A and B are shown apart, each in its own frame.
Chain A
Amino acid sequence: MRVASELRFRWMKDVALPVLLKARERRPLARPRGESPLGPPLESTRRLRGLMTRHYALARYAEGARPVAWVTSGAPVELLRAFGCYTVYPENHAALCGARRMGPEICARAETAGFSRDLCSYARIDLGHALSGLTPAGRLPRPDVLFCTNNICQTILYWFKELSHSEGIPLVMLDTPFIASGEGTPEVFDYVAGQIKDAVPALEHITGREFREERFREVLSSSMRASALWGEVLATMRHRPAPMTVFDAFVHLAPVVSLRGLPSCERYYEGLLAELRQRVSQGVAAVPGERHRLMWDNIAIWFALAPLSRLFAEHHCAGVAGTYPNAWAETTHYLDLADPFGSLAKTYTLIFLNRGLNYRLGLMETMGRDYQVDGLVLHSARSCKPYSVGQYDLRQALAQRLGIKSVVLEGDMTDFRTWSEEQAKTRLTAFFESLDG
């Protein structure tokens, strides 16, 4: 069975999918209908589409051929890669469902089973998918292990515990204590590093594979390079005019979330960075006539990405910075091959969502200055408490420190039942006009 699965996986990976994807790559990039206020689309999008399609398509054949792990976006995936796990990110999958406007339909399956509509919509999508199999990705492989870290939220913990309980799948959980102030203490990092070490024998048992430290270091090294490249990609938006926007960043962050630690992720960002640098040198603007530069706070509104991007551009506003895309470049500098476990503990504990709001304020202030933003758009995501609670005061504080105007959009990442497009458009239009003075 395992041999058959392995052969099928390899055949798909090495023969069938490359042919299929080659044909798909030739398809032209979709351009908005009518006259677009946006600059030319990024050519890399074609490769991104291929990369992520391949990832999800191959996932269907991973069962039995590779240990399959479902992972949270803030978890040290490097450890799983060292075991050759095929990883699926339920958050990334939920974002995909959101972008395809399937959020409410899948959420409703979880709600019918008793899960409150007030819960995180990513979680509801994942639980709804577990109950119904509904997905735009064809089929997700059943996991052999769930791997979660509560550095991005406690919700993850409740969600993965529920999934583990209802589906009977083992859960490996890393507890990353909240850093209310300062840079963390040795006892915190020792605690987290110890748990990562403890996960090794657990994963050896679950995957039936032996841990090889050399392989682990190779993965770490690749992960460091990919995150650094992602940081450089984002940094190109410091240029005036910005060669891409935060809406592009939301789309192009998929590999660093889902594939970091793999060579394909590094290669992808090398190509994207080269394209962006070329755009910078040629003065190609993502938003022609860029007049205002904005920072976006919180997760994307996946189902409204395209209309929002267009609305921004119509008013010559370029989203040039975002706290969310920045998260995958923020702490990678802590990674150290000489101390893989200790440095992983620091890298994953010190992300901004696991730190006090004062830290987030400082981070946003720095980003605001570095990217020369003159306005702030805060997505108050009903589903995401750790990201959203405190935004009203962050807004006031940033207005004082940076002298910028801001607007709050009440919405959600995927569940558009709570979203009023007209209201958002009215608020944004008024905001854009206020920027013009």
Chain B
Amino acid sequence: MGRTTYLLGQKAAGRKVAAVWPARYPAEILWAHGVCPAEVWDPPAGQALAGAHLQSYVCGVVRQGLEFLLSGGLAVADFLLFPHTCDSIQNLGSLVRDLVHEPRPCLFFYLPRSREGQRATEFLEAQLRRLSAELTPLAGPLRDGALEEALALGGGRASALRRMYDLRARGDLDATNEEFYGAVRTCEYLWPEDAVLHLEAFMAAHAGRRGRGVPLVLSGVTPAPSDLAARLDALGAALVEDDLLACGRRFLKTSSAESGAPWTAMAERLLALPPCCTTGDGVEDRTAFLAERVERSGARGVVFLALKFCEPELFQIPSLARAMRARGIPVLIVETELGSTTPAGMMTRVEAFLESLP
């Protein structure tokens, strides 16, 4: 079932749908209000309409998201949510609301750029309450116990994803790269209970030892272009872990210590996500995270997908790559863009990298 068909089904079941731009946002609040988030990372879109609004040096996530919106691809959404991820998404949200005059409500969410201290948690908690207040007229008030239920749903989904990642890292998942990311990325729009069912079914269907392949870790924003995972399968590369903003760097909670109070727990959950440049984490934290991914999965190298014009990523890649090399981990950095086809030159470089690995 395609995304739009699924989301129409959610609406028929009485839920609202929110189009949500990358990257980190409190899905639990949306679920608690009965809203199904549909994330807009790299939708299939041309170049016809966004060019009138955006310069050529704006990243593909922003360009394609706007193109998809303007071409009616997000007609299913009742409103739009723009997490404050970077300068470009910040301005995109404002552009869509203030200057393109999108008729549907546009909401914003700001995640603090520091995880340290009580101040960030308190501010984030206030942001969550504000977002909930803004959702109330759009999707109805919170039911008693809705937050706790949403937290449990989020915990269940994170747990299923973690198991799936663990199975893959241990080599106990017989799935191709394409199949794996196809399954993981359903979490971008499935209601969490459906997502868990889907992931569980996937793990059951793909139980078994992984076939042979050169184990790699992929780092970047999304596994883009959209045929990349399949092309890596064809080359004999087995992605065993990732540090992708759209996937492993966002879904997998690293700490299980949460307060009892739901608002605080929600804030803590967001602050406990893996280290990320978009939320101001330093390269030291990300290096440690990435090195741990490599170690636990036995990966033989890291491929960095440097998404064109993505400042948060592009600033950290040189230091991350240096740190990996210093640990004896081979690294390949390839410039990439969204789209449907991986350029032949990029695949040649990946192929050469695979051949060079010890």
Contact = CB atoms under 8 A, between A and B. Distances in A.
Nearest to A192: B123
A394 interface: yes
Given A161-B282, A356-B98, A357-B99, A178 B110 contact: yes
> Is chain A's binding surface mostly helix, strand, loop or mixed?
helix
Most buried by A among B58, B62, B112, B314: B314
Given A161-B282, A178-B90, A187-B126, A114 B114 contact: no
A198 B53 contact: no
B335 to A, nearest CB: 8
Interface in B112-171: 112-114, 117, 119, 122-123, 126-127, 130
30 contacts: A113-B318, A114-B333, A115-B315, A116-B335, A118-B308, A154-B90, A154-B113, A154-B312, A158-B316, A161-B283, A162-B315, A173-B114, A173-B280, A177-B110, A180-B93, A188-B123, A198-B117, A356-B97, A382-B57, A385-B87, A385-B88, A386-B90, A389-B58, A389-B62, A389-B87, A389-B91, A389-B92, A390-B95, A391-B55, A396-B99
Contacts of B62: 389
B1 interface: no
Interface of A: 113-116, 118-120, 123, 150, 153-155, 157-159, 161-162, 164-166, 173, 175, 177-178, 180-181, 185, 187-188, 191, 194-195, 198, 356-358, 361, 380, 382, 385-386, 388-394, 396-397, 410
Contact of B88 (A114, A162, A382, A389): A389
A385 B58 contact: yes
Interface string B303-318: 0001011011011111
B54 A392 contact: yes
A74 B36 CA distance: 38
Contacts of A185: 130
A309 to B, nearest CB: 25
A419 B235 CA distance: 41
For this complex, into which size category does the number of interface residues on chain B fall?
Answer: 35 or more
A120 B311 contact: yes
Contacts of B308: 118
Contacts of A166: 319
A185 B55 CA distance: 32
B319 A158 contact: no
B292 interface: no
B336 to A, nearest CB: 12
Given A173-B280, A392-B53, A178 B315 contact: no
Interface of B: 52-55, 57-58, 62, 84, 86-88, 90-95, 97-100, 108, 110, 112-114, 117, 119, 122-123, 126-127, 130, 277, 280, 282-284, 306, 308-309, 311-312, 314-319, 321-322, 333, 335
Main secondary structure of the interface of B (DSSP, over half): helix
Given A177-B110, A389-B88, A410 B95 contact: no
A361 B110 contact: no
Contacts of B98: 356-358, 361
Nearest to A380: B55
A173 B117 CA distance: 13
A393 B322 CA distance: 41
Q: Which 10 A-B pairs have the closest CB atoms?
A: A114-B318, A393-B99, A158-B315, A389-B91, A358-B98, A386-B87, A180-B108, A187-B126, A191-B123, A357-B94
Contacts of A396: 99
Nearest to A110: B318
Contacts of B91: 357, 385-386, 389-390
Contacts of B95: 357, 389-390, 393
Contacts of A159: 315
Contacts of A194: 119
Contact of A116 (B86, B92, B113, B306): B306
A389 B100 contact: no
Contacts of A177: 84, 110, 112, 123
A397 B123 contact: no
Nearest to B86: A154
Contacts of B318: 113-115
Contact of B317 (A114, A150, A157, A180): A114
B87 A154 contact: yes
A390 B317 CA distance: 27
A392 B51 CA distance: 10
Nearest to B322: A114
Nearest to B91: A389
A118 B314 contact: yes
A118 B60 CA distance: 13
Nearest to B280: A157
Contacts of A385: 58, 86-88, 91, 311
B311 A154 contact: yes
A386 B114 CA distance: 21
Nearest to A118: B309
B289 to A, nearest CB: 15
A150 B86 CA distance: 11
